[in-house]
Structure 1
Amino acid sequence: MSRQSGSTVARLCVTNAKGGTGKTTVAVNVAGALNERGRDVLFVDLDPQGNATEALGLVESYDAQPPTLFDVLTSADQRSSIADLIVDHDEMDVVPSNIDMLQVEHELTIADLVARVQHDDSIDIDPETLSDLSLNVTPDSVSGAHALDVLDEALAVVEDDYDYVVIDSPPFYGKLTDAGIYASQNILVPALTEASSERAIELLIDQMAALEGQTGITVNTLGVVANRVEKTNEDETMLSWLGEVFEEFPIWEVRKRVALQRAFTAGSSIFQYEESVDMESVFLDVATELDRQFGLLDEEVPA
């Protein structure tokens, strides 16, 4: 697998709309593992709840005044402002989420409707009427057949300083999640080994197909992180099911460990946490495989 077309940086989106999968914990520790391998990482918290932002000790950024990531994604003339939002962390640079992101789904939905109206002569709706329902979207700010390229455009401004962009998606399907996946075109799927995950995975597959149909992109699956795995019959059954559904992709097993949550609460990945965690090797395996898939494995890893 090559890096994303048009980008010199490896981008990936950690996504699963099912709540409680440990999506953000997986995203933070994958980013930490990449950093441990000497890669420069930009972490983008696309979740309006700001769980990663808070977990990485950036609560003040979540409550910051505009311009924020909301403005970057909803105002065409604010894309370059993403550079001013980047905050340093010991393991990675971070584009934090913000409380204003709670309104971004509405804005992106309006923008996508404006795009459809402007590119489909059969729809007799004045795009100005739609933009009146928005805070930042105007007809002249939407030029394509869809409006899911907003994060892609913003990342192009700042990504040259990084080897990887890791996007933590919202825990729901919608235009914001689509924008994260569109920007990366590569997904890493966290999943719990419980029966309720089956429906979530089926919905994810359907969502990827719909996004590909709308935009013409191809979404690559990098692998699955089976999270909080325990030694029960249900876990074994689900691991077998995941192996069948994702038979062409690597599946990593992250065992349930209290230390993972402690590290998350302490504001770091397990690689910076004071307590040793035996799951470090699993996340390093993920990072190594990502390097391989993105063509970076042969590049020297700093000591």
Structure 2
Amino acid sequence: MSTDWTAPRVCVTNAKGGTGKTTIAINVAGALNERGHDVLFVDLDPQGNATEGLGLLDAYDKDPPTFFDVLTDHRKRHLVNDLVVEHEEMDVLPSNIDLLQAEHELTIADLIARVKSDPKSTIDPSELASLAINVRPEGVTGPHALTVLDDVLDAVEHDYDYVIIDSPPFYGKLTDTGIYAAQHVLIPALTEATSERAIELLIDQLAALEGQTGITVETMGVVANRVEKTNEDRVMLEWLNEVFDDFPVWEVRKRVALQRAFSAGNSVFAFGESVDMADVFLDIADSFEQRFETETRRADHEVTL
């Protein structure tokens, strides 16, 4: 890799519940580790499913300071290095029960940002801050407050090859901060008719976020999950390939072993039982390598011109 390599970040996101988002995120991280990469896994979901699924339930119940504090208090960003937990396959920035308060905090932070950016506003930002737990006006800069996870990850002192972010299964400030920090998304989807509306909403949400912040969110691909051999699955796979015709659509067949690996606190690559779907996750990891290493080489070339 280039000596100027900056760890790419990918947010695994879909607001529709039950897509197996967390299982996919863990196994993509496991595949990257299997290919020799140093991975940081960020559990941004207040429910802590990935934290629990990686066997780190104690971290979820940890006393402050927690992920919530480093995310919402600009004075505590450096403490993120004390929160990262080692797992045999990846390092983990675990979720915490306190993250259940994050939507409220980030909403207040966003209101403060808007007030501070509006020269006609007569609202005192400190009055809004009085409604928050951690957020302070001096810690909010710019026209919005979606940079908080980006700032947290910038404070991480260890050098990683990849950062995988498992987003919450709902739309809101937390999900937006995850997408903003990554600016690359991997989309899990079930091959059932209800997924169409969820995908359409996600596309609209990404467009709205781009419009609000001026960033460009790149799609890495779609993971069709728990695929079976039914007519509905076939029709939905055709639909996904049509909607995402410029991106890879990977198929993960329904396998009980995937859930068993999750219950054991590992990806399929550290699980004792052989799982044929492991090759799909390795293919996703290979796609990431090709995409990001090509971008890095292109950037290096442009610098030398």
Q: Structure 1 length normalisation: TM-score?
A: 0.94
Whole-Å separation in 2 of the counterparts to 1:296 and 1:259? 34
Q: For 1:256-295, list aligned pairs within 5 A.
A: 256-295=254-293
Q: Is the 8 A contact 1:70 1:98 kept in 2?
A: yes
Deviates more, 1:63-72 or 1:121-130: 121-130
Match 1:152 to one of 132, 150, 153: 150
Q: Percent identity?
A: 69
The structure 1 segments of at least 4 consecutive aligned residues displaced by more than 4 Å after TM superposition are 296-299
Q: Please tell me whether residue 91 in structure 1 is matched to residue 89 in structure 2.
A: yes
Map of 1:57 onto structure 2: 55
Deviation at 1:250, TM superposition (A): 0.4
Alignment of 1:233 with 2:193, yes or no, is no
Which amino acid in structure 2 is aligned with residue 290 of structure 1? F
Q: Offset of 1:142 from its aligned partner?
A: 0.6
* TM, length-normalised to structure 2: 0.94
Asked whether the equivalents of residues 81 and 157 of structure 2 are also in contact (C-alpha less than 8 Å), the reply is: no
- Residue in structure 2 matching 1:107, options 96, 105, 124: 105
CA distance in structure 1 between the partners assigned to 2:56 and 2:259 by the alignment: 17
CA deviation profile, 1:264-300 (whole Å, cap 9, x unmatched): 000000001111000010000000001011116999x
Return the offset for 1:129.
1.7
Deviation, structure 1 residue 137: 1.1
- Are the equivalent residues in 2 in contact too, given 1:188–1:221 (CA < 8 A)? yes
Conservation of the 8 A alpha-carbon contact between 2:85 and 2:93 = yes
Larger mean Cα displacement after TM superposition, 129-138 or 264-273: 129-138
In 1, Cα distance between equivalents of 2:248 and 2:135:
40
Q: Distance in 2 between matches of 1:7 and 1:29?
A: 23
Unmatched 5+ stretches in structure 2: 298-305
Shift of 1:143: 1.3
**What does residue 132 of structure 1 align with?**
130
Q: Is the 8 A contact 1:159 1:165 kept in 2?
A: no
CA RMSD of aligned residues (A): 1.7
Partner Cα separation in structure 2 for residue 102 and residue 221 of structure 1: 28
CA distance in 1, matches of 2:115, 2:13: 29
Q: State the alpha-carbon separation in 1 of the partners of residues 177 and 130 from structure 2.
A: 22
What are the superposed Cα offsets for residues 204-246 of structure 1, whole Å, 9 maximum, x if unpaired?
Answer: 0111011111111000000000000000000011001111111
Contiguous gaps of at least 5 residues in structure 1: none
2:76 maps to which of 65, 75, 78: 78
**In 2, distance between residues paired with 1:272 and 1:172?**
29
Question: How big is each residue's C-alpha offset from its partner over 1:234-264, in whole Å with a ceiling of 9 and x where there is no partner?
Answer: 0011001111111000000000000000000
